[in-house]
Each structure stands twice: as structure tokens, then as C-alpha cells.
Amino acid sequence: MDRRGSRGEGPSEPPTPCAHCPLLCPDSHMDVKGYKWVRWRVWLCRVLFLLTGGLLLLLFYWRPRLGVVTRCSPCPLALADVLLIRDSGDRQHVVDVFTEEMEEGRWEMFGEFDDNEFIDTDQLYQKDQKIMLRYYLFDGLRYVWLDRKGSFVRVSILNEDWTFNDLHGFQKGLSPQEQIFRRRVYGSNLIDVPIKSYIQLLFEEVLNPFYIFQLGSIILWMSDNYYYYASCIIVISFISIGVSLYEIRKQSVTLHKMARLVVDVKIRKSSGEEQTVSSVDLVPGDCVLIPAEGLLLPCDAALLSGECLVNESMLTGESVPVLKTPLPAGDHRYNSETERRNTVFCGTQVIQGKGGPEGSPVEAVVTSTGFFTAKGSLVSSILYPQDSDFRFNRDASKFLLFLGSIACIGTIYSILLLFSFKASLKEIIVRSLDIVTIVVPPALPAAITTATIYAQRRLKKLGVFCISPPRINISGKISVFCFDKTGTLTEDGLDVWGVMERRHAGFSELVPDPSLLQPGLMLSALACSHTLTLLHGIPLGDPLELKMVESTGWTMDEPLGSRQILDSEFGGHSVLAVMKPPTQQDTTAVAIVRRFPFSSALQRMSVVTVTSGGQSVVAFLKGSPEMVASLCKEETVPAQFTTTLSHFSKDGLRVLALGYKPIDVGMDLNTIQRGEVEKDMHFLGLLMMKNLVKKESPEVINMLKLASLRTIMITGDNILTAVNVAKTCGMIGSDERVIFVKASPHTAQSRPSLRFSLEDEGASAQDTVEVITHGLYQSGCNNHLAINGKSFAALCDYFPEYLPKVLMRTTVFARMTPDQKTQLVTELRKLKYRVGMCGDGANDCGALRAADVGISLSEAEASVASPFTSKIQNISCVPLLIREGRCSLVTSFSLFRYVAVYSLIQFCSVLILYTMKTNLADLQFLFFDLFLVTSLAIVMGKGGPSNDLHATRPPASLWSLPVLGSLLIHTSLIILGQMGAILFTRAQDWYVPLNGTKPGENNWPNIEDTSLFAVSGFQYIFMAVVVTKAHPHKKPLYYNGWFLGLLVLCFGVMTWLVMYPLPFLRWLLSLYNVEDICFKVVLVAFSALNFFTCLLMELLVDNGLLNSLRLLRGRRPSKKPYKQLDSQLLRDPSWPPLNQSLFPSHSTIIELR
């Protein structure tokens, strides 16, 4: 048995990136450096840990790179003890390198199942003739040292060159020695999401910079005799830590249960013995036996014999069970995504297993384990998400630095002030550091997440589930949304519209009901060209195939119990299913003996059938008309094929073509190859099916267009059908034209070419196998471009300079394979679009994960197919999500600004009081921070989204002129308000200045502090109203009952404390007893004036007050490529050049050759 994985030519179909696509599970390494421990440095650092009281250790915890560079020296990767990895997000990680001694001679087993060039993969390091395996773990994946490449590579490289024949060679099973050795190399078959103990979580939480800052603040407050305030913060911090630990552990447990899968499976050993083992012990190459009652599969495996009915909703969101068929033999290199219909994936439920000949069990060979499986890759993307590069998140950090710079100014001022007052060194240190704790609010990052939490809860109530909450805010900035067609824009089910058979003179008349066809090959093709299966007597499978078979009136039967009798009825062939005609039809039953399932990349499926007694063998082919016509003999394709197809496609019908081919009765049908079956076919006819647009689709598309959101259709269907659906649902207006473009690849006879032509001209002139359409985007143009998969591939390969322009104006992408859908989304993101994607099945999985926001229409709540899963089975969930995203983003802005303004209000109050040798009292701080600010901030985000989508998107930049300008204006007005209150107080006849010889707290109560307490208290309340944005992305303020009620309560309490405070409360809050009622009324009125002034300025800023400053610097062009391109195309009326053949540059052709 040769297991070295000879390099055969790959399959003709391109690979489909889904779970294993580099986009979804990238090698995160951009840069890997090796380091070796230096003993004297390690001991020196240990001494410094003790001398610094652990601060150096804390610094190394926060900055792992610093810890490595300090204690280690650079060395070659082959000798490294520690690796420093910089990933694609520019984040740095430190991982340990493990070494494991391998048994002498065992490494030679790799030569049996891998190419010789990989033998040295585990010869990484030899010392005293001992062979050592060197590896490390990163993001759950195992990387081993490959000496030939001089780098660490994924351990999956050992089996990436397996061919179909290699996999069939594993059908005999592995020996115990091989299993043990492979287990040591590949590791356990476990998708293990670690559940950390509460103690470990506590240490990690407490060592967070936020809590370290909080701890330092508490110590500072304690030293300044702020015991009540510090004690409350301690209690709140403990509650916060407790809730955080509970939520983190709860999420870990949930993900752990979803990811971890341990079951008992039966495998075949090389001795032929069958053994039940734990799935944890499975290794690539194990032969797994799947029982008839099914199994929750714990690994990725290629099916070798028998068939399986599988529910893949956990991975893809597709609720329709999928029939898996055996992998054919051959020298093609195996790829789990290309051979999806021959592969059962980890985490999917095998509902039913149908064994091979003579009752043999279903056999499958393990191809991937652990995090290298499809499920493992998706779980890894949840555990270790890619950075979203969202501007709001970047600006939040810059804004904290901005507040920190203000804190430094305040600190310097307070030091100089206290020094002039001849304060003690302790008081100078305490007071100056206290300024930092006021200006840089430690709760700021946590506060802005409350908006996302509220939005996530509202979405869940409406049937939209989210596994990546940060993407909710990103959904508020979506600029283009892509939609799958079938099942997303249109109904899942299709109704048979009619059949047209091939005749010698062309096509027959349209037969609306296939059951009315005369018995013959066309009727047999319709009845047999499917991958349906029976479960408890009920046929299951693709809804299209269910309708097709149902329309013929034929019934399906499958072998039960002993298959020998049934097999003998059909010439001894292994029968998969029997199709029986109605009793009134004069024809015999037909047995299906081989299935080659539908592939999106191949755009076809085929079956091999046998009549009773095995007298004749016929292969039937079903697929896209263009593909079927290309595989049929030219003389059998009617001359009217192109015009007939164009006619029905323009009417929005789903058109399928069928073909047949007689096969020699003596041929071995068990080993016949797909390529042998699907060639030199005879064209049979066309099947038309009506796929109705969902009633919600036009309404939603119109809503998105009115909101200036671009909409794109990406489908695997015919281009003309797709254009018709685009017109029906409103993507293309009735007065807008479609421009067809043909892009041809380089061939031996011709150069690559690109041609644009109008719809009416192109539809009749172009070969429909190669037709490509391009549709212009809704930016004031009356043209739309559309393109199919073949032309898209040629465009990317030979006309990269035209690709951005085509992407800018294309509305319909047809005949797109799953990997092309993913590539398209990626290319759109390169233009700096914020891309949304909505789909309903496995073919969209890659695109859903590649988009900024992906929504899977699925009944499976726990699906990891995309960040969002909607139980609403139509696209009305799209505007719902966008509205919630915009609401969440606007609320996050409001919360961010409010917490920043709160800090600046307190900052101004404290500096003013410092100037007068006093400060706010302990419980005054507590009252402001907890009762006013925290309570208002918590309920501020409860307001829901607006019912309408506005044409403008909310801003995402905190570092912008309106935000910084309004903050500066409000701060100035706040200072004026507080200074006005102080000046007004000092102007009173009864005013007595503070005793300048006494420090801060000894002056309590005093009139200065009480006046600022009154004014600043109202400022905290009314600024919550000023910075809260509603129109046009949120419901008005009065819809948020909690917030409105709390505002009234806070205002009432504050007014009561200013006007008529009880003696006990006056004593408790250290307030001065002011008997002048007019003075109190003026303070309240002064605060009201301050409020209306700030509100007026906020409204003026919202309406463009600061735009005049932008005019001074001149209008700057947008930095986003898609906006620059849009402006360029609008100024170029000659694009696209119609009816002109464009050719690529010479350098492009040379490069591709």
C-alpha cells in the first residue's frame, strides 16, 4: 500500500474556501522570531521582581515581548525555546516550543503516507542520534518544525498531498504502532476550549490595567481620607469583577460545550479487527465505521463506501439534510472543500448511514482532527477573532490619550498651585495624582459596551442571534450589502413550470406537467437525476429535486435488510435507490447504482441507472444549461438552444438542462470515473422551474436604496435569470439598462479580451456558456453591470486594472462558485467598503465569514456559519440589524462623550476648589459618581432604534472636528457656568471668605463648595440630555422611559438638595446652610441657562456650525478608494467603453504564463 501521497493533478474544479479557506483560518504569522533563555538574565530578572515588589513581573505580563527580549537572546528558530509571533493584526504573542523524543526508526512511517520531502518534518533536531519532535501550539493549532523549509508549519501539511487513491488505501486500517506515533505528532482529536478556574480568572481580571488603575486610585483616596467613596468603589469593583468572572466563565462553558465533542467510534485496525475507541484518540488515516443509525461526527472524514444523510446546520446554517456519497478512486489530490459531497465534517450529525455491498458498514477515513477540522476552524475564528480595524475602536484609545494629556496639564497646575500654598509633599503628591483619577475615567471603555449589550438583547428578542457583539457597531457603518439569490431573495421552494424535449427539428412544445410526458429517456432522467434519500419512508434532500421528482409521479424505494435479492433483480449491481413509475405508465422501474453529487464549482450532477435485469445501463446528467450543453455532443444540442434559454431566463425562470449517455453493460460501474460518465452526452431537453421572489425582498431592497446603501446579488444561477430577479426585487430599476460584458481568458488560439455590450445587443450575440454581465451601481447612473464567474476569474487574472471599476458598477454576479463569492467580498473590502453579506446555505459560508457583517438565514440558533444568525427567513432582518447597529453606534458615541464630559466637569470643579484651598467632600464625590452619572449612563442605551433607515450613516470617528469641537465648546461653557457661580457667590453681602490657613477638609462645609456642588450637579444631569443623540438613527428621548424617568428623579433630588435640604442630608453631604432663598433660585436658574446654552450650541454643531473651519482648509478628497473611484467614474461618461474589445497589457500575459 503506497501512502506517500503522489502528486496527481488536482480536480478540474477549483477549491472552495470555507472552513479551511486562508481567509477564515489564516496562518496568523506575519513574523516569527526565535529566542533562547539566558540563565543569568533570568536570575537577574527574578531578583528585580523582588526588588520592585512584583511591578517588573506585572510589566512583563502586560508586555510579553519585553519579557522575552529582557530574559532571552535571539537565536535560529531550530534552536529556539521561545517564539515571538507577530500576527496579521500586528499583535504580538509569546509561545513556548515543546520538544518530544520520538522512538528511533518510527519517523520512517511518514515516508509511508507522505512525500519523501517531508520525512525531515520530524527530524527537526538530532542530538546524540535521538530524533526530537519540535512543535508549538498557537490559536489551538499545532505547528511542527520542517527542517527543509527552515520554519514551523502546520502539522496538517503532512497529509495535504493525499490523493483519492491514498485515502482508499487507508480502508484497511492503521496498525497500533502507526496510531500511537501519529497521535504524538498530530495531538489529540479535541477542540478544547479551556474553562479557566475562578481563581485563574480572578488573577487575570485583577491584573487588567483597568483594575490596577482602580487599585491605585483606591489607595490614593484612602490616603486622602475619602473612606466612604473608596469603600463604595471597592464594593462596586468586587461586584463588577464577580459579574465579569461569571459572564466570562459562562461564555467559556457555553463555547466549551458547543466545541467539545467526545464520542465512542468504531474503527478498523490493520489486522482487520474492529475496535471501539474514544474519538479523542482518532488520528488522520484511521478508518471509521459509521453505523446505520448515524453518528455525531467528531472529525473530518472522506467517505469511502456507502452513503450518509447528514445534517450540517451546525456549520453552514443549511437546515436541509445533505446526501454524502463515496469518494471515487483516482490520482487527484484530495481537498475537503472541493469534495464536500464526499466529505463528512466534524460537528455534523449523520442522520442515516447506508452501507456498501453485502451489508458492509459505511466506511470513512479521517482526514483532519481537532482545530484542523471545519468545526475547529470556525471555533478558532470565534476564540481568536481577527481585528475588525473599526475606526471607533482605534479612536477610543486616542481619545483616552487626549484625556490623559489634559490630566497632565491639570496635574502640573495643581502642583504649582499647591507649591505656592506651601503644602506638604504628601499633599502635593496626593492632590496631583487625584487629578489623574478624575480626568481619565477607568470606567470609560466599559461604559460604551452597554449600548452593544442592549442592542444584542433586542436583536435576540427579534430572532437575530449574535456570536460576535463587536460587529453590531460595525453593522451601523455598512455601505454595501450582498445577497444570495435562491432562498434569500427568492423562495426556497420552486414549482415546475414546464419541460421541453429535444426534437430533430429543435425543441418540442412546452409541456407544463412532466407527468404528461410519454415514457422515455426524458421522463426517466427527471425521475432519476437526484440525490434524494428516504428517512422513515419520507424523501429528503434538495427542495428543487423533491419538486422535480414529485412532478413526474414516480416513487422512490430503497433497499432494506438484505440487499442481495434487490441487487440480483438489476443485474447484480449495488443498488442505491429504485425509482418506480406510476402503474398507468407503460415502463419499468429503474435502479440508481452510482451518484456523482451536485457541485457548485462543476455546476452539475449525474447518476448511473440500470433497468430490470441489468439489460441496459444509462447515465443521466443534470445541471446548468451552459454546462450540460458543453458536455453534450454538438450535433445533439438544438440550434435554438441559446435563444430558448435566453427567453426563459429573461422571464426569471430557473432553467436546468438534462442529458443522457448509454454505457456498456459490461463496464464495472463501481469503479467508473465521473469524468468518464460526464462526457459525450446526448442532449435531452430543458426543465423550467419558477422561483418566486419573496414578498419582503422588493420592500427591503427599496428601503436600502433609499438609505443610500448599495445592494449586490451574488448567485450561482444563470445570468439572465439573475438579472430578471434583480429587476423584480428592485435592484435594477425599470428605466435602467444592463450592460453585458464578456471577458475571455488566454487560450492557445486567442488573447484575453474584455468587451462591454448592452443587454439587448449582448443577449443574442453572445455564447451563453461564456456570457458575462456587468451592472452599474446606483450612484445616479442609469446603467448596471453584471458578471458571471468565468468572466470574473478572467477579469481578476488578466484585467486587474479594470477590476476596481467593474466592482464599483456591478449589481449582479452570476454563476459564482463559493470561493469566488468569498473572493468578491474580499475585493470589495479592499476598496474600503463596509461589506454585509446575507445568505442561507453552505455555498455562502466563506463569504459570510469574510464580510464585515454576515447574516445566515437559518433555524439553527447555535450555528457558527456567520457572526449573525437570523430565524427570520427573509431579508427583513438586514435593515433590522443595520438599524440596531446604527442605534448602538450612536449610543456608544453618546456614552463616550457623556463619560468624558462628566470627567471634565469634575476636573474643572476640583481645580477651581483647589485654587480656593478646598475640595469636594467624600460623599459629594459618591453622590455624583454613583447616583447621578452611573445610573444615567446605564439607562442611556436603552432607547431603541428608529423605525426608518436614514440616508446618512452615523459617524465612526471620535477624533473628528464635530466631536472635539463640541467637547471644547461644552467644556468652555461648563467652566463659565462654574466660575459664574463662584463669582456670584462672592458677590453676596453675607459671603465670608475661606480661612486661608486651613487645608481642604477642615474648611467643610463652605459656601464655595456648596455653590459648585449645586451647579455641577445640574451639569451632570443636563449634559446627559445634551450629548444624547436620537434623530435620525434612534427613537426620540421620550421613548426611553427609564432614562426619562431617571432624569426627572435626578433633577428633582438635585433641586431638593439645593433648595430645601434636610439637616441630616446637609450634614451628610457637608453642605453649607444657605438661608437666602433668592440665592438658591438664582443658582438653579443659572444652571438652567447653562443647560439651554449647551443645548443650543450642540444643535448648532449638529447643523454645521464648525463647517466653516473646514472651508478654511479647503475640501479634502475622501481617503476611501471606493469614493475616489466613484467620483472618477462620474466624471468619465465614456466608461464603460461599449462594443470595444479591450486587451490586457503585455506584461500581464507574460506574468500569468
Q: Which helix (H) or strand (E) holds 1146?
A: helix 1146-1152
User: CB–CB of 713/483 below 8 Å?
Assistant: yes
Pick from 989, 1018, 1020: nearest CA to 1085: 1018
Give CA–CA dist 642/634, Å, rounded.
13
> Mean of the pLDDT values across residues 15-24?
36
Q: What is the pTM of this model?
A: 0.77
Q: What pLDDT shows up at residue 36?
A: 94
User: With helix as H, strand as E and coil as C, how does 107-140 read?
Assistant: HHHHHHHCCHHHHHHHCCEEECCEEEEEEEEECC
Helix (H, G, I), strand (E, B) or coil at 169: helix
For 246: left if phi > 0, alpha if psi spans -120 to 50, otherwise beta; the answer is: alpha
Q: Check whether 307 has a pLDDT greater than 70.
A: yes
Q: What pLDDT shows up at residue 280?
A: 92
Give the chain's mean pLDDT.
83
61 or 1056: whose pLDDT is higher? 1056
642 or 11: whose pLDDT is higher? 642
> Mean of the pLDDT values across residues 798-822?
90
C-alpha cell at 767: 455564447
Q: What pLDDT shows up at residue 23?
A: 35
pLDDT tier, 565 (very low <50, low <70, confident <90, very high otherwise): low
Q: Provide the CA 227 distance to its chain's centre, in angstroms.
A: 47
Q: Check whether 1037 has a pLDDT greater than 80.
A: yes
Q: What pLDDT shows up at residue 859?
A: 66
pLDDT tier, 303 (very low <50, low <70, confident <90, very high otherwise): very high
Q: What pLDDT shows up at residue 1112?
A: 66
> Mean of the pLDDT values across residues 244-268?
84
User: CB–CB of 1010/1073 below 8 Å?
Assistant: no
Q: Check whether 1110 has a pLDDT greater than 90.
A: no
C-alpha cell at 656: 436546468
Helix (H, G, I), strand (E, B) or coil at 529: coil
Look at strands 274-278 and 264-268 and give their pairing. antiparallel
User: CB–CB of 326/671 below 8 Å?
Assistant: no
995, exposed or middle or buried, with CB in 10 Å at 0-12, 13-18, 19+? exposed
Q: What pLDDT shows up at residue 337?
A: 78
User: With helix as H, strand as E and coil as C, how does 223-279 read?
Assistant: HCCCHHHHHHHHHHHHHHHHHHHHHHHHHHHHHHHHHCCCCEEEEEECCCCEEEEEH
Q: Check whether 826 has a pLDDT greater than 80.
A: yes
pLDDT tier, 19 (very low <50, low <70, confident <90, very high otherwise): very low
Q: Give the neighbor-by-neighbor strand order of the sheet with 349-354.
A: 295-296, 349-354, 307-311, 322-324
pLDDT tier, 780 (very low <50, low <70, confident <90, very high otherwise): very low
> For the segment 945-990, what is each residue's pLDDT rounded down to a tens digit?
999 999 889 888 888 888 888 899 999 999 999 999 999 999 999 9
Q: What pLDDT shows up at residue 863?
A: 55
pLDDT tier, 764 (very low <50, low <70, confident <90, very high otherwise): very low
Is-cis flag, bond preceding 1136, omega within 30? yes
C-alpha cell at 22: 486562508
Q: What pLDDT shows up at residue 785?
A: 92
Amino acid identity of 534? L
Give CA–CA dist 472/466, Å, rounded.
8
Least confident of 3-17, 442-456, 750-764, 863-877: 3-17
pLDDT tier, 351 (very low <50, low <70, confident <90, very high otherwise): confident
Q: What pLDDT shows up at residue 1007?
A: 92
901 or 29: whose pLDDT is higher? 901
Q: Check whether 305 has a pLDDT greater than 70.
A: yes
pLDDT tier, 1054 (very low <50, low <70, confident <90, very high otherwise): very high
Q: What pLDDT shows up at residue 200?
A: 85
Q: What pLDDT shows up at residue 112?
A: 39
Q: What pLDDT shows up at residue 499?
A: 94
pLDDT tier, 714 (very low <50, low <70, confident <90, very high otherwise): very high
Q: Check whether 110 has a pLDDT greater than 80.
A: no
Considering just the CA atoms, what is the radius of gyration of the chain in Å?
A: 35
Q: What pLDDT shows up at residue 560?
A: 67
Q: Check whether 1153 has a pLDDT greater than 50.
A: no
Least confident of 695-709, 770-784, 1065-1079: 770-784
> Mean of the pLDDT values across residues 191-203?
85
5 or 266: whose pLDDT is higher? 266
**Of the spans 24-28, 403-407, 693-697, 991-995, which averages the highest pLDDT?**
693-697
pLDDT tier, 997 (very low <50, low <70, confident <90, very high otherwise): low
Q: Check whether 289 has a pLDDT greater than 80.
A: yes
Give CA–CA dist 812/773, Å, rounded.
7
238 or 1149: whose pLDDT is higher? 238
Helix (H, G, I), strand (E, B) or coil at 968: helix
Share of the chain above pLDDT 90, in %: 31
> For the segment 57-98, what is each residue's pLDDT rounded down to a tens digit?
888 988 888 999 999 999 998 889 999 988 766 778 899 999
- CB count within 10 Å of CB 767 equals 11
Q: What pLDDT shows up at residue 1150?
A: 40
Q: Check whether 374 has a pLDDT greater than 80.
A: yes
Q: Check whether 382 has a pLDDT greater than 60.
A: yes
> Mean of the pLDDT values across residues 401-423?
85
> Mean of the pLDDT values across residues 1017-1031?
92
> For the segment 886-901, what is each residue's pLDDT rounded down to a tens digit?
999 999 888 888 988 9
> Mean of the pLDDT values across residues 784-789?
90
**Angle, vertex CA 82, rays to CA 77 and CA 84, nearest 5:** 80
Least confident of 73-82, 564-573, 646-655, 752-761: 564-573
Q: Which helix (H) or strand (E) holds 101?
A: strand 98-101
Q: Check whether 210 has a pLDDT greater than 70.
A: yes
756 or 212: whose pLDDT is higher? 756
CA distances, 222 to each of 218, 219, 434, 750, 1104 (Å): 6, 5, 11, 83, 46
Helix (H, G, I), strand (E, B) or coil at 696: helix
pLDDT tier, 318 (very low <50, low <70, confident <90, very high otherwise): low
pLDDT tier, 623 (very low <50, low <70, confident <90, very high otherwise): very high
Q: Check whether 109 has a pLDDT greater than 60.
A: no
Q: What pLDDT shows up at residue 803?
A: 92
- CB count within 10 Å of CB 229 equals 24
> Mean of the pLDDT values across residues 843-850?
81
| DSSP conformational letter for 1109 | H
> Mean of the pLDDT values across residues 501-528?
90
Indicate which residues carry an active-site annotation: 484
Q: What pLDDT shows up at residue 972?
A: 94
> Mean of the pLDDT values across residues 405-419?
87
> Mean of the pLDDT values across residues 1139-1144?
85
Q: What pLDDT shows up at residue 89?
A: 66
Give CA–CA dist 605/599, Å, rounded.
7
377 or 625: whose pLDDT is higher? 625
Share of the chain above pLDDT 70, in %: 87
pLDDT tier, 47 (very low <50, low <70, confident <90, very high otherwise): very high
